Structure 1
Amino acid sequence: MTTDPIPLAQALIRCRSVTPADGGALDVVQRALEPLGFTCTRLVYGPDDYRVDNLFARRGTAGPHLCYAGHTDVVPPGDVAAWTDDPFSGEVRDGLLFGRGACDMKGGIAAFIAGLTDYLAAHPDHPGSISLLITGDEEDRSVDGTAKVLEWMQANGQVPDMALVGEPTSRRALGDTIKIGRRGSLTGRITVQGKQGHSAYPALADNPIHRLVAALGPLLAAPLDNGSEFFPPTTLQVTGFDVGNRASNVIPATARAMLNIRFNDHHTSATLTERLHAALRAAGCAYALDVDCSGESFLTRPGPFVDALSRAIARSTGVTPALDTGGGTSDARFIARYCPVAEFGAVGATLHQVNEHASVAELRRLAAAYQTIIAEILG
Structure 2
Amino acid sequence: MPASADRPSNLPTAGDPVEVARALIACPSVTPEEGGALTLLEAVLQPLGFSTKRVRFSDEGTPDVDNLVATLGEGAPHLMLAGHTDVVPPGSGALWTHHPFSADIDEGLLYGRGAVDMKGGVAAFVAAVARLRAEGVPTRGSVTLLLTGDEEGPSINGTEKLLAWCHEQGMRFDAALVGEPTNVETLGDMAKIGRRGSLSGTLRIEGRQGHAAYPHRALNPMQAVVAIADALQGTPLDHGSEAFQPTSLQVVSIDTGNMAFNVIPAAAEIRFNVRFSDRWTSASLKDELLSRIESARPEGIEVAVAWEKASESFLTRDAALAERLSAAVQAVTGREPELSTTGGTSDARYIQAYCPVIEFGLVGDTMHQVDERVPLADLEALTEIYRAFIAATLAADAETDEA
Cross-structure match for 1:26: 38
Distance in 2 of aligned mates of 1:14 and 1:247? 48
Q: Secondary structure at the match of 1:51?
A: strand
Match among 46, 60, 64 for residue 58 of structure 2: 46
Q: Show the counterpart of 2:329.
A: 313
2:91 pairs with one of 66, 78, 98: 78
Cα distance, 1:125 vs structure 2: 4.9
Aligned to 1:188: 201
Q: Which residue of 2 aligns with 1:292?
A: 308
Structure-to-structure mapping, 1:230-309, within 5 angstroms: 230-248=243-261, 250-282=263-295, 283=297, 284=299, 285-309=301-325
Who is 2:7 aligned against? none
Structure 1 match to 2:168: 155
Which consecutive unaligned segments of at least 5 residues does structure 1 have?
none
> Counterpart in 1 of 2:361?
345
Q: Render the CA deviation track for 1:147-196: whole Å, top value 9, x for unaligned.
A: 11101011111131111100111112211110111112211100111233
**Residue 5 of structure 2: aligned partner:** none
Contact kept? 1:269, 1:293, Cα under 8 Å: no
Cα distance in 1 for residues equivalent to 2:210 and 2:43: 68
Unaligned runs of 5+ in 2: 1-13, 396-403
Superposition CA RMSD, Å: 1.9
Deviations along 1:5-43, whole A, 9 cap, x unmatched? 111111111111111111111111111211121111110
Q: Does 1:132 align with 2:139?
A: no
Counterpart Cα distance in 1 of 2:206 and 2:197: 29
Confirm whether residue 96 of structure 1 aligns to residue 112 of structure 2.
no
Q: Distance in 2 between matches of 1:211 and 1:232?
A: 30
Alpha-carbon distance in structure 1 between the residues aligned to 2:361 and 2:260: 53
* 1:375 corresponds to 2:391: yes
* Alignment deviations for residues 39-97 of structure 1 (CA, whole Å, 9 cap, x no partner): 11110112597221110011122212110001111111111011222211111221111
- Checking the alignment, whether the CA contact within 8 Å between 1:220 and 1:236 is kept in structure 2 is yes
**C-alpha contact 1:56 1:134 (8 A) present in aligned 2:** yes
Contact map agreement 1:300 1:342 (CA 8 A) in 2: yes
Change (3 A) 1:14 1:294: farther
Q: Distance in 2 between matches of 1:249 and 1:7?
A: 62
Asked if 1:324 is matched to 2:340, the reply is yes
The share of aligned pairs that are identical, in percent, is 49
| Corresponding residue SS for 1:323 | strand
2:66, 2:262 → 1: CA distance?
55
| Separation in structure 2 between the aligned mates of residue 221 and residue 161 of structure 1, nearest angstrom | 43
Give the CA deviation at 1:118: 1.2
CA contact (8 A) 1:120 1:126 kept: no
Cα 1:204/1:160, change in 2 over 3 Å: same
Change beyond 3 A, Cα 1:125–1:320: closer
Q: 2:68 aligned with 1:68, yes or no?
A: no
What residue is the counterpart of 1:173 in the other structure? Answer: 186
Query: How does the TM-score come out when normalised to structure 1?
Result: 0.94
Q: What is the TM-score with the length of structure 2 in the denominator?
A: 0.89
Deviation at 1:215, TM superposition (A): 2.5
Q: CA deviation at 1:249?
A: 5.1
Per mean C-alpha deviation after superposition, the further-off stretch among 220-229 and 298-307 is 298-307
- Corresponding residue SS for 1:153: helix
CA distance in 2, matches of 1:230, 1:327: 13
SS at match of 2:110: strand
C-alpha change, 1:8 and 1:217, in structure 2 (3 Å) is: same
| Alignment of 1:5 onto 2:21 | no
Cα distance between partner residues in 2 of 1:297 and 1:181? 7
Q: Does 1:227 align with 2:235?
A: no
